[in-house]
Amino acid sequence: MRFAFRRHLAPAAALLLAAAGAHLRAADDLPKGETILDKYVEVTGGKAAHDKIHSEITSGTMEMGAMGMKAKMTTYQAEPALSYTEVTLEGIGKIQDGFDGKVAWSMSAMQGPRIKQGEERTDALREAQMHNDVRWREHFKTAETVGVEAVDGKDCYKVVITPKEGSPETRYYDKQSNLLVKSLRTVKSPMGELTAETILTDYRKEGDIVMPHKMTSKVAGQEIKMTVDSVQYNVEMPKDRFDLPEEIKALVKK
């Protein structure tokens, strides 16, 4: 019995080593994470095209199917890192969210005015920066390709990007198009840490930039569908567009 065991051990070990070698070669064949992130910039228009955009207004709709709620959403952005988003919910009112370059804030009829601190503020700064995909190195310290995984039947590179501050994010880039099709991230909120899964589809051109026009997010068991209706680049905005509301100014003074 011992002889039989030893006799079969060598072939089994050889198979295991071959499998391990194949796995290592597959890992070695994976493109670097930074290469995938840089290529995403290229396939969506290229750095030069992105850099021509100095301000942006995006309008669209949101649907929360399980709750039967619909909303209109408009986001304003301007260099270097200014943002303001207004969501109007039917029968409820407005939800506002902004970053004036220093203060990250939000305000709604349900939660009142609030100033974001810590990691939540860091996330707001990162999201507010124009061309954050082009300038990803300013906010992330590593980008590691960890494997290949299918998303909606498409093989995708799975890339874990780790910010200089905050929690890692996992992104899935289509192997064929190199477009971002899914992201998984942990977000800070008044309800604590939440995991957000977002599927991005319907990539189309707006000017010289290719961008997703449909995004479906799952957060805390709720599904939110967002559709982009229009995008305007380099438009003149009111000078006070990114000013803090009086309610937020009052909190800053405290």
- Read off the CATH number of the domain in which 166 is found: 2.50.20.10
- Quickly tell me which residue has 């399980």 as its tokens: 66
The per-residue pLDDT for range 32-84, each reduced to its tens digit, is: 999 999 999 999 999 999 999 999 999 999 998 767 788 999 999 999 999 99
Low-confidence ranges of the chain (pLDDT < 70): 1-28, 66, 189-191
In a domain, 133, yes or no: yes
- The SS3 assignment for 190 reads coil
In a domain, 170, yes or no: yes
Output the pLDDT for position 20: 44
In a domain, 200, yes or no: yes
CA–CA gap between residue 103 and residue 78 (Å, rounded): 15
Structurally, how many domains does the chain consist of?
1
Output the pLDDT for position 28: 52
In a domain, 5, yes or no: no
The whole-angstrom distance between residue 2's C-alpha and the CA centroid of its chain comes to 57
Output the pLDDT for position 16: 42
Output the pLDDT for position 253: 92
Contact 84, 74 (CB under 8 A): no
- Quickly tell me which residue has 């974001």 as its tokens: 116
Output the pLDDT for position 11: 44
In a domain, 176, yes or no: yes
pTM above 0.95, yes or no: no
The beta-strand segments (E) located in the chain are 55-64, 69-78, 82-89, 93-99, 104-108, 112-115, 140-151, 154-163, 169-174, 180-189, 192-206, 209-219, 222-233
Tell me what percent of the residues of the chain surpass a pLDDT of 70. 87
Instruction: Provide the residue range defining the domain that includes 228.
Output: 37-249
Output the pLDDT for position 19: 46
